[in-house]
Amino acid sequence: MSYEDTLRYLTGATRIMGVGARIERLLMLPSRQLKVEIAIEMDDGSVGVYEGFRIQHNGARGPFKGGLRFHQEVDQDEVNALASLMSWKTAVVGIPFGGAKGGVQVDPHELSVRELERLTRKFTDQIHNFIGPDLDIPAPDVNTGGEHMAWIMDQYSKYHGYSPGVVTGKPIELSGSQGRVAATGRGVALCALWALADLGIDIGQVRFAVQGLGNVGSWASRILGQHGAKLVAVGDHGGYIENADGFDIDGLIKHVEQNPNRSVAGFAGSDVSDFEAFFASDVDLLIPAALGGVIDEKVAESIRARLIVEGANGPTKPDAHQHLVERDVVIIPDILANAGGVTCSYFEWVQNTQRFYWSEEEVNGRLEPILRNAYDEVTTIARAKKLDHRTAAFIMAVREVGKATALRGL
Ligand code: GLU
């Protein structure tokens, strides 16, 4: 997903709203872009040098908020795009944060755990003056999780005193929140259930396909499976497989967790497939839950699903989006569909601030109405203005960020 692609989605909304060129520019440009060098000692005594980014896009509605990813393809343009998506996502669900994103250009699978710890701590050294519980709050994203957040929290606290609220997505034992690990996938599943109901499709008859059985894809699959839907096609960096009768979802997730390659490939009792066949699967629902930019125009032409729910950030390129909308495929966009994660991050931050912790039932009980409100509002705008859900979500987000900006003044 490029920054330019995100801008196309943004301007799709701002042009309809008629906000004018200056406000459009204000909404486009990131507030602050940090690019840092991260030099660490590798286990063999050599020096490893990496590039890291933290980009704060818009802070009108509250402290900057967004994940931190470790991936070999991370660059400034991509982090810019993802930071901007976070500003719109937090506005769609109405939580009091702005948008940010971070990334380190590294293939984390080539580093040992100790090297990853040194990398994470050194990155924190480089950005600690620009993050903080009331300033900018990182969280997990692609290839990062609770242990990385624990290292950042510990390293940041060495400079600033004990600060659990500097990151979210921490382990439960270290001031994390119940329900946070499952929250993004839970939100994806809820959006899928609501959109299927709106389309008049009975969940018991649903066949679905998921790209990426990481944290988001696995929880979304598990919850949809519990509602009676059948997972018939999956795939990831290691390969694609299918099972017309429906996979044993728990068994498949266990296979991914136990497999050193952390891939679905090789799961017993499945048929081997490929990228093209996966997207052309005869399914009702498609959930891209891996990386950005996977659905281009060519892939879009092959898609047979009536509903796409975006678990990943930026999986659909603008031309592909246009093509799918013209074919009446409903797309629940990333800034709504995967907002369960950051919403639960907000709960974690609130609990850290209060030093008072909620049960899993309480967390899930608060998550669902927030997402439902956002879903209803986006759907209402889409119906009233005869727009697709993505453009409607961007209109809602721009409206909220615009209001906050106007009230605060420049
Ligand atoms: N990385 C997640 C996202 O893209 C979560 C961000 C957060 O919790 O701050 O929404």
For the residues 70-75, what does the mean pLDDT come to?
97
Residue 304 structural domain:
182-337
CB 46 within 8 A of CB 111: no
- pLDDT classification of 190: cutoffs 50, 70, 90: very high
Pair (278, 208) in one structural domain: yes
**H-assigned helices in 233-293:** 249-258, 275-279
Which pLDDT score, from 0 to 100, does residue 1 have? Answer: 82
Pair (122, 215) in one structural domain: no
Q: Residue 110's closest CA among 52, 53, 70, 148?
A: 70
Is residue 99 assigned to a domain? yes
Q: Does the pLDDT of residue 352 top 90, yes or no?
A: yes
Which pLDDT score, from 0 to 100, does residue 290 have? Answer: 96
Pair (191, 332) in one structural domain: yes
Q: Of all atoms in ligand 1, which is nearest to the CA of residue 313?
A: 4
Is residue 359 assigned to a domain? no
Is residue 398 assigned to a domain? no
Pair (216, 115) in one structural domain: no
Catalytic residue among 101, 122, 170, 317: 101
Token pair belonging to 91? 């506005």
Is the CB of 256 within 6 Å of ligand 1? no
Is residue 369 assigned to a domain? no
- pLDDT classification of 410: cutoffs 50, 70, 90: confident
Of 286, 307, 337, the residue that ends a domain is 337
Q: What percentage of the chain has pLDDT greater than the value 70?
A: 100
Is residue 170 assigned to a domain? no
Tokens 């999956």 label which residue? 234
221-255 pLDDT tens trace: 999 999 999 999 999 999 999 999 999 999 999 99
Is the CB of 141 within 6 Å of ligand 1? yes
Q: Of all atoms in ligand 1, which is nearest to the CA of residue 169?
A: 8
At 146, which amino acid appears? Answer: G
256-301 pLDDT tens trace: 999 988 999 999 999 999 999 999 999 999 999 999 999 999 999 9
Q: Residue 111's closest CA among 25, 172, 169, 50?
A: 50
Pair (192, 155) in one structural domain: no
What Rg do the C-alpha atoms of the chain give, in angstroms? 20
- What is the Cα–Cα distance from 203 to 224, expressed in whole angstroms? 8
Q: Residue 243's closest CA among 254, 232, 234?
A: 232
Q: Residue 119's closest CA among 34, 33, 49, 46?
A: 49
Is the CB of 177 within 6 Å of ligand 1? no
For the residues 160-181, what does the mean pLDDT come to?
98
Of 108, 135, 163, the residue that ends a domain is 163
**H-assigned helices in 128-270:** 146-160, 180-198, 215-226, 249-258
For the residues 316-327, what does the mean pLDDT come to?
98
The domain that holds 62 is classified in CATH as 3.40.50.10860
The domain that holds 264 is classified in CATH as 3.40.50.720
Q: How many domains does the chain have?
A: 2
Is residue 67 assigned to a domain? yes
Is residue 386 assigned to a domain? no
Pair (157, 204) in one structural domain: no
Give, for ligand 1, the residue of 55, 141, 153 to mutate: max count of ligand atoms closer than 8 Å to Cβ: 141
**281 C-alpha to center of ligand 1: Å?**
29
Catalytic residue list contains 35: no
For the chain, give the number of residues.
410
Is residue 201 classed exposed, middle or buried when 0-12, 13-18 and 19+ CB atoms within 10 A define those classes?
A: middle
Q: Residue 283's closest CA among 324, 243, 333, 313?
A: 243
**205 C-alpha to center of ligand 1: Å?**
31
Mean pLDDT rounded to a whole number for the chain: 97
**142 C-alpha to center of ligand 1: Å?**
10
- What is the Cα–Cα distance from 106 to 33, expressed in whole angstroms? 19
For the residues 404-410, what does the mean pLDDT come to?
91
Pair (133, 209) in one structural domain: no
- What is the Cα–Cα distance from 261 to 367, expressed in whole angstroms? 33
| Residue spans of beta strands (DSSP E) within 277-378 | 285-288, 307-309, 330-332
Of 136, 163, 190, the residue that ends a domain is 163
Pair (151, 42) in one structural domain: yes
CB 363 within 8 A of CB 348: no
Pair (156, 300) in one structural domain: no
Q: What percentage of the chain has pLDDT greater than the value 90?
A: 99
Pair (333, 186) in one structural domain: yes
Pair (207, 114) in one structural domain: no
Q: Does the pLDDT of residue 163 top 90, yes or no?
A: yes
As a three-state string, the secondary structure of 300-319 is HHHCCCCEEECCCCCCECHH
Q: Residue 183's closest CA among 140, 133, 152?
A: 140
**131 C-alpha to center of ligand 1: Å?**
15
Is residue 221 assigned to a domain? yes
358-387 pLDDT tens trace: 999 999 999 999 999 999 999 999 999 999
Pair (332, 187) in one structural domain: yes
**Maximum C-alpha span of the chain:** 62
